[in-house]
Homo-oligomer: A and B are copies of this chain.
């Protein structure tokens, strides 16, 4: 109960503002969802995230790396292989994303306007 009070909505407005500062940007949540399946190359990510452009995907990966959610590894080649994977912090986000997905399936009309 003490913990619930400490995490009352008003008490965590600051945390929610920070969360939506990056999850609020289009694609970021979806990119994290795809990487939860395992490390991906840039082109695998682009195929999995329908509708994203190369330049936006590149920007998002840079931001997610700066926020400490995604790690970029370069394996010396040839050919050079760049892989993106979730950090521990990124992996820790998955239970919350799963909770959000369940809520959407139960509560959002698939035909409802989302923009």
Contacts and interface: CB of A to CB of B under 8 A. Distances in A.
A56 interface: no
Contacts of A10: 33-34, 37, 48
A86 to B, nearest CB: 10
Contact of A114 (B21, B33, B97): B21
A6 B68 CA distance: 28
Oligomer copy total:
2
A19 B12 contact: no
Q: How large is the interface on A (under 10, 10 to 19, 20 to 34, 35 or more residues)?
A: 35 or more
Interface of A: 7-10, 12-13, 15-26, 28-30, 32-34, 36-37, 48-49, 66-68, 89, 92-110, 112-115
